[in-house]
């Protein structure tokens, strides 16, 4: 027994001395930490799907065993309480396909990475899914959405409030600013995506200006569903030429069932007087952009306004 105890003592002494030597030789040893990552803003946003992802720049000294994105209609989603994707392992960039979403709904999303220390998250971003796509073919042979962006139904009259829809600042995506009761801010954006849901009370919300935000289905901030875009000035004029009368009555009598949805001034004041309608085109005019507008006494596509105004949008199929 004494010999066994002696051997055990010798063995333990050897192990302890070895560990002491290891830590002495490895005085720069750093314990593992959470992974470092960023979230990718959502793209290819449809009525029930979107694409996102992230980039893991550091694994924290411990291999990333799982990565993906989490999303929810509540802020700060987590893997325990939210929907999620699992998109491989390790560091680097990854893409996530998000499905099963509800239409016309705002979601909060962030990337995650799991290593032996725990779960870390990228910064939260948000996006809003598009309306269900229902279309109408006009006398020009073109296919349009049958209602304004943000409208809950096809208009039953030129003053149908449920068919008014949202009011967009030219070139902005669907980020919440377009809602008629959205908050306001005087802070200009220096990027294509302001990162807030406020109506920016300036002649143009972006500085410097960018003329390419609504150009075509691949426009940087195209607010329309996939395959649709904001019409240009010539396309609006072609429609106007087919109306029975070039005024509010003709606008509603057309297949598009257009409404006098009002507008929002660049100072944030809402004018919802059931008398005027202004629809953005994608065509710029210097520092401004052209609109198609109508009222009881006329209609035109030759007027332009500062891009900070809030006007209606109707999407045309590309």
- Tokens representing residue 44 in the block: 């290819």
Which helix or strand (DSSP H or E) is residue 10 part of? Answer: helix 2-25
Angle 164-73-96 (CA atoms, 0-180°, nearest 5)? 105
Q: Are strands 199-200 and 184-185 parallel, antiparallel or unpaired?
A: parallel
* pLDDT the model gives residue 195: 87
Phi, psi (degrees; rounded to nearest 5) at 190: -105, 5
pTM over 0.75: no
Q: Which residues contact 13 (CB under 8 A, 6 or more apart)?
A: none
Query: Which pLDDT does position 104 carry in this prediction?
Result: 78
Cα separation, 147 vs 58, in Å, equals 47
Neighbours of 215 (CB within 10 A): 19
Q: Which CATH architecture has domain 36-128?
A: Sandwich (2.60)
3-state secondary structure string, 165-202?
A: CCCEECCCCCCCCCCCCCCEECCCECCCCCCCCCEECC
| Per-residue model confidence (pLDDT) at position 304 | 98
Domains of the chain: which residue ranges?
A: 36-128, 133-318
Q: Could you give the 3-state DSSP secondary structure of residue 88?
A: coil
The pair of structure tokens assigned to 134 is 């229902």
- Per-residue pLDDT, 17: 44
Cross-strand pairs, 110:
70
Contact 95, 53 (CB under 8 A): yes
Give the Cα separation of 224 and 219 in Å (integer): 10
CA distance 55 to 95: 9
Nearest to 97 by CA among 108, 106, 86, 105: 86
Give residues with Cβ within 8 angstroms of 207, minimum separation 6: 188, 189, 190
CB atoms within 10 A of CB 183: 12
> Tens place of pLDDT for every residue, the chain, 318 residues?
434 434 433 443 344 344 444 444 455 778 999 999 999 999 988 888 999 999 999 999 999 999 999 999 999 999 998 999 999 999 999 999 999 998 878 899 999 999 999 999 999 999 888 777 899 999 999 999 999 999 989 999 999 999 999 999 999 998 889 999 999 999 999 999 998 999 999 999 999 999 999 999 999 999 998 899 999 999 999 999 999 999 999 999 999 999 999 999 999 999 977 888 999 999 999 999 999 999 999 999 999 999 999 999 999 999
Cα angle for residues 127, 106, 104 (degrees, 5° grid): 105
Tokens standing for residue 307? 């891009």
Q: Which of 36, 191, 48 is nearest to 111 (CA)?
A: 36
For 262, left (φ over 0), alpha (ψ -120 to 50), or beta? left
């Amino acid at each position: 027994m004494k010999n066994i105890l002696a051997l055990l003592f010798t063995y333990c002494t050897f192990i302890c001395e070895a560990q002491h030597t290891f830590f002495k030789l490895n005085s720069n040893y750093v314990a593992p930490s959470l992974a470092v990552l960023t979230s990718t803003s959502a793209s290819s946003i449809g009525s029930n799907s979107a694409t996102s992802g992230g980039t893991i720049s550091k694994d924290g000294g411990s291999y990333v065993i799982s990565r993906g994105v989490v999303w929810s209609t509540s802020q700060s989603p987590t893997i325990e309480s939210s929907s999620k994707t699992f998109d491989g392992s390790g560091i680097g960039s990854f893409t996530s396909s998000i499905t099963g979403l509800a239409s016309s709904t705002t979601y909060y999303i962030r990337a995650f990475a799991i290593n032996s220390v725990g779960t870390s998250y990228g910064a939260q971003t948000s996006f809003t899914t598009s309306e269900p796509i229902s279309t109408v073919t006009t006398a020009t042979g073109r296919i349009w959405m049958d209602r304004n962006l943000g409208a809950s139904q096809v208009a039953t009259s030129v003053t149908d409030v449920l068919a008014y829809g949202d009011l967009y600042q030219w070139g902005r995506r669907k980020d919440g600013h377009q809602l008629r009761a959205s908050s306001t801010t005087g802070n200009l954006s220096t990027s294509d995506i302001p990162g807030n849901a406020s109506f920016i009370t300036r002649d143009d919300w972006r500085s410097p200006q960018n003329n390419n935000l609504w150009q075509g289905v691949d426009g940087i901030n195209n607010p329309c569903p996939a395959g649709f875009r904001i019409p240009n000035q010539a396309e609006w004029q072609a429609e106007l030429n087919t109306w029975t009368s070039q005024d509010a009555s003709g606008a509603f009598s057309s297949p598009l069932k257009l409404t006098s949805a009002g507008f929002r001034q660049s100072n944030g004041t809402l004018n919802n007087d059931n008398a005027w309608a202004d629809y953005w085109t994608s065509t710029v005019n210097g520092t401004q952009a052209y609109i198609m507008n109508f009222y009881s006494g006329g209609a035109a596509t030759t007027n332009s306004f500062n891009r900070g105004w809030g006007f209606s949008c109707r999407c045309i199929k590309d």
